[in-house]
């Protein structure tokens, strides 16, 4: 009996000693945290989407309190309303940011792009993009594997089965930017919100005939929209037109003049 009791006493003593050492260490090296960080975190939506550029809402709250800077540290999900509350809590001023919206810069619907190959790998845009350009002759358009859908924490994106292109439910979208980061083709883009919003739904940089052969709705770089824009809001670079929403007068002339209907109108 004594033979079994001795080892138990030794193990118990070691455990008590280790507990005491851990307790003293925790007390000595304890990091005091500003309690206002908890209050700021409670004001944030708790989405932990990473749209602010940090790992989660807790880290954003810490940066707001420590840096006392709300110009660089912003919550895209909570928007101006949440940032105003945080500013009041910290005794700072928060500048209102312009509303944003996410658009899909591709009209490569199934009816517009003919599949020339078949992808049998993992259902992932990133994986497919790393192997080759895609299943069609357009290597710039949406791959339709749904990486953006998986990245959205708010159920705001779905893949349209008929077109093969993602559709954004703007009533659910918080413009956190997670989908934009997830797209390896950069098809999703954050734009300044205007009503209506005009944008070129194409990224194909090939010259006219090549682009048109790959997709019937491709921008062919003809420059007709540039010449007819009364507000000079459209530029042409690398055979692709781009509309500056800040200059756009929302007249809709570009939509009417585009021969391939590559320009979208979002109301």
CATH code at 147?
3.30.70.20
Task: Give strand pairing partners of 166.
Answer: 159
End-to-end CA distance of the chain: 85
CA separation for the pair 58, 47 (Å, rounded) = 11
- Interval 35-83: pLDDT, tens: 899 999 999 999 898 889 898 999 999 999 999 989 889 999 999 999 9
CA separation for the pair 231, 228 (Å, rounded) = 9
Distances (CA, A) of 238 to 110, 142, 160, 204, 214: 25, 19, 29, 9, 17
pLDDT above 70 as % of the chain: 96
82 and 147: one domain? no
Structural domain including 183 reads: 100-266
Counted domains in the chain: 2
Do the domain assignments include residue 18? no
Do the domain assignments include residue 11? no
Do the domain assignments include residue 133? yes
Instruction: Tell me the DSSP string of 209-250.
Output: HHHHHH-TT------HHHHH-TT--EEEETTEEEE-TTT---
State yes or no: pLDDT of 34 exceeds 90.
no
Do the domain assignments include residue 187? yes
CA separation for the pair 152, 148 (Å, rounded) = 6
State yes or no: pLDDT of 1 exceeds 60.
no
- Interval 131-167: pLDDT, tens: 998 999 999 999 999 999 999 999 999 999 999 999 9
Higher pLDDT among residues 12 and 92, named by residue = 92
Q: What is the pTM of this model?
A: 0.80
- Please tell me the number of Cα atoms within 13 Å of 8 on its side-chain side: 5
């Amino acid at each position: 009996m004594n033979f079994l009791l001795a080892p138990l006493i030794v193990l118990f003593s070691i455990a008590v000693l280790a507990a005491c050492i851990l307790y003293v260490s925790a007390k000595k090296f304890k990091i005091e945290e500003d309690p206002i960080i908890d209050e700021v975190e409670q004001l944030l939506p708790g989405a932990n989407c990473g749209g602010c550029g940090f790992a989660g809402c807790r880290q954003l709250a810490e940066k707001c309190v420590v840096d006392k800077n709300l110009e660089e540290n912003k919550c895209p999900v909570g928007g101006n309303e949440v940032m105003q509350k945080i500013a009041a809590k910290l005794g700072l001023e928060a500048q209102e940011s312009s509303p944003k919206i996410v658009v899909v810069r591709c009209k490569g619907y199934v009816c517009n792009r003919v599949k020339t190959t078949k992808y049998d790998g993992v259902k992932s845009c990133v994986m497919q993009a790393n192997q080759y350009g895609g299943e069609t002759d357009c290597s710039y358009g949406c791959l339709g594997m749904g990486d953006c859908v998986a990245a959205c924490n708010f159920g705001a994106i779905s893949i349209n089965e008929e077109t093969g292109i993602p559709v954004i439910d703007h009533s659910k979208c918080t413009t956190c930017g997670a989908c934009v980061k997830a797209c390896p083709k950069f098809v999703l883009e954050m734009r300044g919100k205007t009503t209506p919003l005009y944008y070129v739904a194409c990224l194909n940089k090939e010259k006219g005939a090549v682009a048109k052969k790959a997709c019937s709705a491709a921008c062919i770089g003809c420059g007709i929209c540039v010449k007819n824009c009364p507000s000079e809001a459209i530029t042409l670079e690398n055979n692709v037109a781009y509309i500056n929403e800040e200059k756009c007068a929302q007249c809709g002339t570009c939509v009417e003049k585009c021969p391939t209907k590559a320009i979208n109108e979002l109301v």
